[in-house]
Structure 1
Amino acid sequence: MNESYSNASASSTSSLNSSSHDTEDDQTIASILAEEEKLNVDRRLGKRLSHLDSIPHTPRVNGDIPDVNDATLDHERLSERLATYDLAELQMEGDGNCQFRALADQLFRSPDYHKHVRKQVVKQLKHHRKLYEGYVPMKYKSYLKKMKKAGEWGDHVTLQAAADRRRRVKLPGLLTQFRMASILFKLGLFMCVFCLALSPSQSAVLSIDLGSESLKVAVVNLKPGQSPISIAINEMSKRKSPALVAFQSGDRLLGEEAAGLVARYPDKVYSQIRDLIGKPFSYTKRFLDSLYLPFNIVEDSRGTASFKVDDNVGGFSVEELLAMILSYAANLAEFHSKVPVKDAVITVPPYFGQAERKGLLQAAQLAGINVLSLIHEHSGAALQYGIDKDFSNESRHVIFYDMGSSSTYAALVYFSAYKSKEFGKTVSVNQFQVKDVRWNPELGGQNMELRLVEYFADEFNKQVGNGVDVRKSPKAMAKLKKQVKRTKEILSANTMAPISVESLFDDRDFRSSISREKFEELCQDLWEQSLIPVKDVLKHSNLSVDEIYAVELIGGATRVPKLQAKLQDFLGRKELDKHLDADEAIVLGAALHAANLSDGIKLNRKLGMVDGSPYEFIVELDGPELLKDESTRQLLVPRMKKLPSKMFRSIIHDNDFEVSLAYGSADLLPPGVTSPIFAQYTLSGLTDASEKYASRNLSSPIKANLHFSLSRSGILSLDRADAVIEITEWVEVPKKNLTVENSTIASPNISLEVGAKNTSEESSANLHVDDAGTSNTSNSGEEQSATDLGTERKLKKRTFRVPLKVVEKTVGPAMSLPKESLAEAKSKLEALEKKDAERRKTAELKNNLEGYIYSTKDKLETSEEVEKISTGDERKSFIEKLDEVQEWLYMDGEDASATEFQERLDMLKAIGDPVFFRLKELTARPAAVNDAESYLNELQQIVRKWETDKSWLPKEKIDEVLSEADNLKTWLDEKEAEQKKTSAFSTPAFTSEEVYLKVFNLQDKVASVNRIPKPKPKIQKPTKNETDNNEETAKTSNTTSEESSSQSSESAAESEGSGNENVGTEAEAHDEL
C-alpha cells in the first residue's frame, strides 16, 4: 500500500539519491557558509541550497499553508520561508534561484518535482527561442548549456518574458542585466505555470466522512497552489456540512440551505439518512419517533421506508435521499478542486451490515460517484495516525475510541514495521492491522442531547401548566433540539450553560439554565455504557490496560469532560491521547486511502493497511434430498478476516440447491436486523449435468464448488459455482518402449518412449470441458498414428467442470434496488439537478443585477472622478434608469427568470460601459504614455550599448529601430495634442491599449536586432606538416583526438563568448533545482 501525506526524509532522500549531482555545484549549507568569504567577486554560478530532502513536502509558515500568491510575493518573504526550515541562500548578483526553487516547491509540494521543473524550463526555452532570446545576455546555446547544469537564470528569463507579454511594455534595465525577480512575481506570477510549461495532474479523488448529522469532504489533488490533501469547504466556508435534504415550495435544498429550514419546517428537512439505509420499516418508524422527527413515511415493496414529500415533488427512497447528499458532497469537492471529481472513498461505521453497505453503494451509483472502496472509520483514523510515525524500532497497540452523534466504538489497532526491498535496498515499511473492534450503535452525543431535551421539555410544561405538552409540537421540539445542542457544547467548557428559545410554543418564550453537574447526573447511565466497547476490546484481545500504548479520542462527543474522566479512571491514565483532529482525522485518512487506490494520483509515503470484517459469516445450503448436517452449514468468514479475501467451499450433491449467506452470531447483528440471513441464491444446472454423466463410470460423487469473495468494502457475495464430475474410462494409449522401424530417423536403433509424462499431460489437457460436456481429446490423426505404432487399453480418470447458473433472490430490506427502479431514480435525480442549476443561475444573475445597480449608483452620486468624464444630464438619466430597474427588481421581477435578469443587466451595461471606460482611461492613458516615454529613453542607452559591445550589428538595422522609435514618439505627440482638443465627455482620441501595442511592436524589433549573432571568426586550415604532427601527438595521448578537439573547442567558446557550443540532448543528466 502506498500512502502519503507529508514529508518523509526517507522517501525524499531516495528520490534524491536516484538523480545525478554535480559535486562542484552541490554543496551543504555548512560548506557554503564556510567558503563564502573565499568566493570571487563575480560569485560563480552554483547550487545555493543544501540537498532538497530538508524541504518539507507541504511547506508551512507559522503552521499555515500559504497560497501561491502569498508564498511567492517577494524575495524577502521567500527567504524567510527558507530560514524557517534552517535553509540558507548564498546570495549573488542577479540570482533569483531561491524564488524559482520556492515556486517549484509551492506548486508541487514535493522535492521530487524540482528536477522535473528544471527539465520543463529547458524544454520551454529550447523550443521557444524567438520568445526568450532577447532576454539572454550571452550566446543562446551557451545559455541553454548553463541552464541544464545550474538552472540559475531560467526563472529570470521566463518570468521577465511573462511580465512583458502581460504588460506589453519593457521594464527599465532588465534587458541588459539581471536583478532580483520580486517585481516580476508581482506582475507576472499568474503566468508562471504557462511560462514553465508545467503539466500537473488534473485528476482528483475525494473522501467523504458520512455521519448521521453531518459530513466532511477531503480532496486529493496535485494541483499547483493547493495542498495535496485538503478539506473542501461548503458554501458558508465551513469545513463540516449538514447532511440534510429539504423540499420547500417545489425546490430542493441541500446542506446549509436545508439547515436554515429545520426550525420552521421540521417535517420537510430530512436528517439521519445514513442510519436509515437498509433498515426495515418498523425499525425506521421507532427510530424517527425516538428523535422527534415527524417525517411522513410509508412501507415500500422491499419492507423499507419510503418518504412522502409534498410540494408536487413525489416520494423518495432512502437510497435516493442519500444519493442527493453524496452528490452534494461531490459538488463541494469539484468546486474546491476546480476539476471533475468522480472517484471516491466513503467511510462507514464498523457496525454497518451487508444491507447498509450495499445500499450506500447504490446511492453513490445514483449520485454518479465511482466508489473505489468503503473504509471503516477506525481504519481511516489509523491511517492518519500512522502516516507520520516510525514503527521500525517499536511496535505498539493503540485503541481508537470514537463517540459520534449516534454511535460509539473502540477499535484495537496494532502498528508495526517490516523489511522490504526497494531499488535494491532494504527499507523499513510501516503497517497496521485492525485486531478487533466493538461498538454500541445506539449510544452517541445525541443521546446526551435527548436527556437535555426531555429535561427542558418537562420544565417548560411545568411553567406553562394547563396540561400543555410541548412534545406534541414538531416545530417546538425542533427549536428545542437546536438550542440544546448549543447548550451541551457550552457545558463542555463551562460549569453553567443557559438556554433561550423564543416562541417555543404558543408564542411563549422559554429561558432557563443548567449546570454541568446536573447534566452529568441526567446522563449517569450513559457514562457506564460508554466504557463497554473498550472493556470488550481488551477482553477479547487478552490485553491489559498497561499493554496499550495510546488511547486516541476521535468524534465530537469525546469532548464531553465527564466522558473523558470516566475513560481516564478506567484506563488509569492522567491524560488521554488527543494527537488527532477529532473531527477531521477520519476523512483525511480516508483521503490517503483514496489516493492509494486511484490510478491517477500516487503519493510517496507507504503505510500498509490490514483491515478485517467486523462480522463473521456462515453459508447455509438447502435443497431436495440435501441432508441438514455440518456440511450444509459452514463458517465461511471468521471475525476480523482480512479485507479483501476469496473463499472456496465444496459440497457433495447432484441436484440443484439454494445457498444462503447469514451472520454467524444471532447476538451480534447490525441495528434493526431481525433475521441473520442477508443474501439468498439459487443454483441451477447441477441436476442436468448429473443426468448427463449418470451413464458414465463415476470415479467419485458429483460435487459443487462455490466461490465466494469478501470485497474491500466488506461485502460478501457468491461469485460463481461449478459442478465437478470425475469419471474413469478405458482409453487407447501408445505402448511403452515400442521400437520404431522403417522410420525417417537416420539411426534405426532409436526407440520412441511414450511414458507416464505424456499420459499426465494428456490427462491435464482434458480437465476442462465446454458446456456440452465434450472433452478436449487429442485429434484423430494423432490417435491413428499411435495405433499404427501399437496401442494398449488403459484405465484413465477425467475431470469435467460445468459452470452452474447463479441467480440472487434476496428479498426484504437487504434487497438492492432493481434495475428498473434504479433507472427511474436516476431520471428523477437528474431532473432535480437540472432544476437546481437553473435556480442557482437565476439567483446569481439576480444578485449580479442588484450589485451592479448599487455599485453604479454609488459611483455616479459620490465619485468626483466620474464628474470629470460625464455630464450632469448623462448621470441623471442613468440614475433614473437604474431606479427604474431597481423598482422592477423588487416588485414584478421578484420571480423573474434568469433570461429577464440578464437582459436588464445588459441594458444597463450598454449605458454604463462607455462612462466607465472613459473613467478607466482617465488614469490608464497617462500611465501608458509615461511607460512608453520611459522605454524610449531606455532605448537610447540600449543603442549606445550596441555601438560599444555589439559593433557587428548592421547599421541599417539599428537605423530601422531608431526610425520606428521616432515614429512612436511622433505618434504620441500627435495623439496627446489631439486628446487635449477632445472633450472629457467624449470618446478618447487614443487608448492605453493602443500605446502598449505600439511599444510591444517596438520591443519585438529591438529583440530581433539584439539576437543577431556575432560572425564566426575565420579559422585558418593547418598545413599538411602540422596535421601530421598533430596526428602523431594524438596517438601517444591518453585521450582520442575527438575528445581533445571537443574540449579545446568548448574552452575556446567559453572564453570568447562565441563559437559552436554543443547544447546536448534534453535527456542529459543534470542537477535538481
Structure 2
Amino acid sequence: MAKEEGLAIGIDLGTTYSCVAVWQEQHCRVEIIHNDQGNNTTPSSVAFTDHERLIGDAAKNQAATDPENTIFDAKRLIGRKYSEHNVQKDKMLWPFKVVAGANDKPMIVVKYKGQEKQLCAEEVSSMILVKLRDIAEAFLEKPRKPTMDAGAIAGLNVIRIINEPAAAAIAYGLDKRSLDIDQQTKVDIDTINSLSSISRKNILRVYFTQDREIKRKNKVDISGNPRALRRLRTACERAKRTLSSAVTTKVDVDAIFQGIDFNSSISRVRFEEINMELFEECIETVEKCLTDAKMDKSSVHDVVLVGGSSRIPKVQQLLQAFFNGKDLCKSINPDEAVAYGAAVKAALLSKCFKNVPDLVLLDVTPLSLGVSVKGDLMSVVVPRNTSIPRKMKQEFRTSVDNQSLARIMVYEGERTRASDNNLLGSFVLSGFPPAPRGHPLYVSFSIDENGILSVSAEEKTTVNKNEITIINDNKDRLSAKEIERMIQEAKFYEAEDREFLKKANTKYDLDDCVYRSRNVLKKVCIRSIVRPKEKEDLRSAINRATDLLDEENEQYDIAVFEACLKELESSLERFESW
C-alpha cells in the first residue's frame, strides 16, 4: 500500500496476475486501475529480449516464442532455498533456468541484450511493482514520490504490508458498509493461499492429461521443447478459465511440435474429476481455519470468495454445501478484491481521509513463538493465534552459577521439545556480572502490523540488551503448508510430548534439588559439626543424582528420575532436620 496527498494506492502483487487500485478522497470510493491494454489485471511476468525488457501483457504475449527468457511464478521463489524440495519440483516445470546462487538462494538465468544475467525473485517482483506504479501514475496523470527505503527498489512509499485475506475482507466490508461490520463474522476463502496453489496445480493436471494425449495420438514427446510446453500450458490455462462458465471446451494448439496440430477437448466433469483431490484440500483448509478460530460454521455470517479459482463451479458447490447451503458473496470481482482492500487500508492509514469507513481486522500468529530453555524445552512467549500487533515479555533465569552470558534461541512451533520446532534465529546476551543460579533475564517478543518479529533480551542491573529481527519473507520462516504440517505433527505427537515434558520437569526438579543440597551441605559444614552418617548419605545421594543427570540417559524411564529425586529429597530433609 502507498499514499499520495488525496490518494491512496493499493497493490495486489500476485503470483500469476497483479492488480492496482486507488482510493480517491474527492470521489469517496475505490477504483480499480486498468493497464495500458485496458485490462484490470496485469500478468506477473517479465521477459527479456536482445533489445528490451518486457513486463506484464507484453511479456506474456511473447512467452510462446521465447519461453526460456520469460519469467513467471517468480513470487514462489521468494524466501526459498534452491535445495528445497518444492523449488526442485517447480524447476522441472519452468521453461526458464533456475540455478543455486550464494547461500543457496535460487537465481533465475535469462539472456538479455546478448549477455547472460542472473536475477533473484525479489528483483523480478520489483520490476512488476514498477510496472504497477507506472500504471497508477498514467491513470492519475502525475508521478508519485518515493519517501521510504522499504519501497526504494520500486519507487513506492510503503506504509503497511497486510496479508491478502485481510485486504479482501476489508474490500467486502466496504462494499457492504451499510451493515454493522463489527457484528459480522466473515470467512474470507483464502483459499487465496490454498486456491492460488490449487489454480496452478489444476492447470498442470489438465496440462499433464493433454501431454499424455499428445504422446498417445501422435507418438511424439514434447517434454524437451520449452516452446511447445509453454504453448500447451497457455492453452490449458485458457481451458480452465473457460470451464468456469462452459461445460466443455477445446484445447487447440496449431503446429505445436514438428508441424503437428494438437486438437483435443475437455469437459467440466473431467476437469473436476482430475482435480477433485485439490478441491477437497480447499474444504479441509476452511474447516481447519474454523477449528483454529474455535468457532462453528453456523456462526459465520458471510463467506467471501477471493482469487480466480474461486470461480470454479465445483469449488463454489463444495463451499456452499460445507456451509449448509449458505449463499456465497460474489459482489466484488475476486481478481480485484485484494487490491481494492489494500487501497482502502492505505486510505485509513493515511489519516487525512475523512470519508473512509473504519474497518478493523486483526491478523494472528499462525504458530506459537518462544525460546529454548534448559532440557531442550520450548518455553512459549507468544501463543499461537495471538492477535497482532502485540508485545509480550517473559522472565527467565540463569541455570548455573556465575553465568555471564546467555544464548537466546528463538523458535516457532507447537512441539514441547524445542529442537522439534523451527529455529528462526539466535543471539547472545553477554556482559552481565556473574551471579548465583536463578539470576533474572527478561525476554521480549514484539510483532508489528507487518508481521515483523523483534526479539530482545535484557539484564536489568547492567541494562545490557541485545536483539534480533525476523521478517516474514526470511528464508527460515515457514510456508503455509509447512505451518499446517507442524500443527498436525503436534497433534500426532501430543502424548509423546506430554511424556517428554513430564520427564524434562522431573529432571529439572532433580537438578534443582542437587543444587540446593550442595549449598546446604556447604553452609552447614562451614559453621558446625555434622554427623558423619547424615553427611555421607546426602553426599552419596547427590553423587547418584549427578551421575544420572550427566549420563546420556534418554533410555531411562521417568520412574528412574522420580525415584532418584525422592531419595535425594529424603536425604536432604534428614540432613536439614538434624
- Give the TM bin, normalised by the shorter chain: 0.7 to 0.9
Change (3 A) 1:221 1:569: closer
Structure 2 distance, partners of 1:809, 1:458, is: 45
Aligned match of 2:165 = 378
Give the SS at the match of 2:395.
Answer: strand
Q: For residue 376 of structure 1, what is the amino acid of its counterpart?
A: N
Tell me if the contact between 1:205 and 1:341 (Cα under 8 Å) persists in the aligned partners. no
Aligned AA (1:384): A
Match of 1:717 in 2: 454
In the alignment, does 2:344 pair up with 1:683?
Answer: no
Partners of 1:342 and 1:680 in 2: CA distance: 38
- Aligned-partner Cα distance in 1 for 2:146–2:393: 31
Following the alignment from structure 1 to structure 2, what is the Cα–Cα distance between the partners of residues 526 and 392?
A: 35
Report the equivalent of 2:77: 276
Task: Note if 1:576 corresponds to 2:328.
Answer: yes
- What is the correspondence of 1:556-571 to structure 2 with a 5 Å cutoff? 556-571=308-323
Residue 564 of structure 1: how far off its partner (Å)? 1.6
The alignment yields a C-alpha RMSD, in angstroms, of 3.1
Following the alignment from structure 1 to structure 2, what is the Cα–Cα distance between the partners of residues 595 and 247? 36
* Corresponding position: 1:334 with 2:81: no
Does the CA-based 8 Å contact 1:403-1:445 persist in structure 2? Answer: no
Q: Secondary structure at the match of 1:615?
A: coil
Indicate if the aligned counterparts of 1:595 and 1:603 stay in contact, CA closer than 8 A: no
Residue correspondence of structure 1 range 986-997 to structure 2 within 5 A: none
Q: Which residue of 2 aligns with 1:237?
A: 38
Conserved 8 A contact 2:126-2:154: yes
Secondary structure of the structure 1 residue equivalent to 2:266:
strand
Residue matched to 2:238: 486
1:401 corresponds in structure 2 to: 189
Within 5 Å, give how 1:353-372 maps onto structure 2.
364-372=151-159
**Aligned mates of 2:326, 2:22 — CA distance in 1:** 37
**Post-superposition offset of 1:241:** 0.3
> Which amino acid is 1:628 matched to?
G
Question: Cα offset for 1:327?
Answer: 1.8
1:640 to 376, 382, 385: 385
Shift of 1:644: 1.0
| Structure 2 SS opposite 1:281 | coil
Give the Cα–Cα distance (whole angstroms) in 1 for the partners of residues 446 and 287 of structure 2.
32
- Does 2:404 correspond to 1:655? yes
Matched positions, count: 462
- Identity rate, percent: 27
Residue 217 of structure 2 aligns to a residue in which SS? helix
Q: Report the alpha carbon displacement of residue 497 of structure 1 after superposing the two structures with TM.
A: 0.6
Counterpart residue number, 1:1010: none
Contact preservation (8 Å) 2:169, 2:304? no
The change in CA–CA distance for 1:607 and 1:527 in structure 2 (over 3 A counts) is closer
Residue among 183, 203, 207 paired with 2:10: 207
Closer, same or farther in 2 for the Cα pair 1:491/1:716, shift >3 Å? Answer: same
Contact 1:244 1:270 in 2 (8 A): yes
1:705 to 397, 417, 442: 442
CA distance, structure 1, for counterparts of residue 270 and residue 11 of structure 2? 37
- Structure 2 residue 557 is matched with structure 1 residue 803: no
Partner of 1:932: none
Separation in 1, partners of 2:147, 2:337: 17
Q: How far did residue 381 of structure 1 move?
A: 1.7
Aligned-residue offset at 1:382: 1.6
Tell me how far apart the structure 2 counterparts of residues 394 and 806 of structure 1 sit (CA, whole Å).
37
Distance 1:227 1:260, change over 3 A: farther
Structure 2: which 5+ residue stretches go unaligned?
478-578
How many Å apart are 1:587 and its aligned residue? Answer: 1.4
1:261 aligned residue (62, 65, 68): 62
**Structure 1 residues 359-388: Cα deviation after superposition (integer angstroms, max 9, x where no partner):** xx96x4422323212112111122122234
What is the TM-score with the length of structure 2 in the denominator?
0.73
Cα drift, residue 805 of structure 1: 4.2
Distance 1:232 1:679 in 2: 41
Partner of 2:124: 321
Indicate conservation of the 8 Å contact 2:33/2:139, yes or no: yes
8 Å Cα contact 1:203-1:341 kept in structure 2: no
Give the distance between the partners of 1:532 and 1:396, measured in 2 at CA.
23
1:548 aligns with: 300
Contact 1:303 1:813 in 2 (8 A): no
- 1:214 CA drift (Å): 0.9
Equivalent residue of 2:68, what SS?
A: coil
Corresponding position of 1:456? 210
Taking a change above 3 Å as real, the CA distance of residues 628 and 250 of structure 1, as seen in their structure-2 partners, is: farther
Deviations 1:457-487 (A, max 9, x none): 111111211xx21222211110011111111
Task: State the SS of the aligned residue for 2:102.
Answer: coil
Provide the C-alpha distance between the structure 1 equivalents of 2:98 and 2:268, rounded to a whole number of angstroms: 38
Contact 2:454 2:468 in 1 (8 A): no
- The answer to whether the Cα contact below 8 Å between 1:330 and 1:342 also exists between their aligned partners in 2 is no
Q: Aligned partners of 1:282, 1:666: CA distance in 2, in Å?
A: 25
| Of 407, 414, 428, the match for 1:665 | 414
User: Which deviations, in whole Å up to 9, do the C-alpha atoms of 1:96-123 show, x marking residues without a partner?
Assistant: xxxxxxxxxxxxxxxxxxxxxxxxxxxx
Deviation of 1:590 (Å): 1.2
Partner Cα separation in structure 1 for residue 145 and residue 286 of structure 2: 37
Q: Is the 8 A contact 2:452 2:470 kept in 1?
A: no
1:709 aligned counterpart, secondary structure: strand
Specify the SS of the correspondent of 1:470.
coil
1:903-950 Cα deviation digits (max 9, x unpaired): xxxxxxxxxxxxxxxxxxxxxxxxxxxxxxxxxxxxxxxxxxxxxxxx
Name the CA distance, whole Å, in 2 between partners of 1:576 and 1:600. Answer: 34
Matched, 1:628 2:375: yes
Q: How does 1:128-277 map to 2 (within 5 A)?
A: 202-222=5-25, 228-277=29-78
Deviates more, 1:508-517 or 1:534-543: 534-543
SS of residue paired to 1:486: helix
C-alpha deviation, 1:681, in angstroms: 2.2
Q: Distance in 2 between matches of 1:444 and 1:220?
A: 31
Q: Deviations over 1:863-891 (max 9, x none)?
A: xxxxxxxxxxxxxxxxxxxxxxxxxxxxx
Secondary structure in 2 matching 1:239: coil
Provide the C-alpha distance between the structure 2 equivalents of 1:462 and 1:661, rounded to a whole number of angstroms: 54
**In structure 2, do the counterparts of structure 1 residues 658 and 325 end up closer, same or farther at CA, with 3 Å as the change threshold?**
farther
Give 3-state SS (helix, strand or coil) of 2:245's partner: coil
State the alpha-carbon separation in 1 of the partners of residues 32 and 264 from structure 2: 37
- CA separation in 2, counterparts of 1:636 and 1:329? 40
Deviation at 1:722, TM superposition (A): 2.7
Q: Which amino acid aligns with 1:662?
A: Y
1:813 offset after TM fit, Å?
6.4
Deviation at 1:634, TM superposition (A): 1.7
Aligned to 1:118: none
- In the alignment, structure 1 segments of 5+ residues that lack a partner are 1-200, 346-360, 410-440, 622-626, 668-673, 726-800, 817-1073
Pairwise CA distance, 1:453: 0.7
Give the deviation of 1:574 after TM superposition. 6.2
1:389 aligns with 2:135: no
Q: Cα distance 1:207–1:679, how it changes in 2: closer, same or farther (>3 A)?
A: farther
Distance 1:665 1:506, change over 3 A: farther
Q: Find 2:95's aligned residue among 270, 278, 294.
A: 294
Query: Whose strand proportion is higher, 1 or 2?
Result: 2
Q: Give how far 1:343 is off.
A: 7.0
CA shift at 1:248, angstroms?
A: 0.9
User: Taking structure 1 as reference, are residues 629 and 573 closer, same or farther at Cα in structure 2, changes over 3 Å only?
Assistant: same
Cα distance in structure 2, aligned partners of 1:567 and 1:452? 22
Question: Quick one: which amino acid aligns to residue 639 of structure 1?
Answer: R
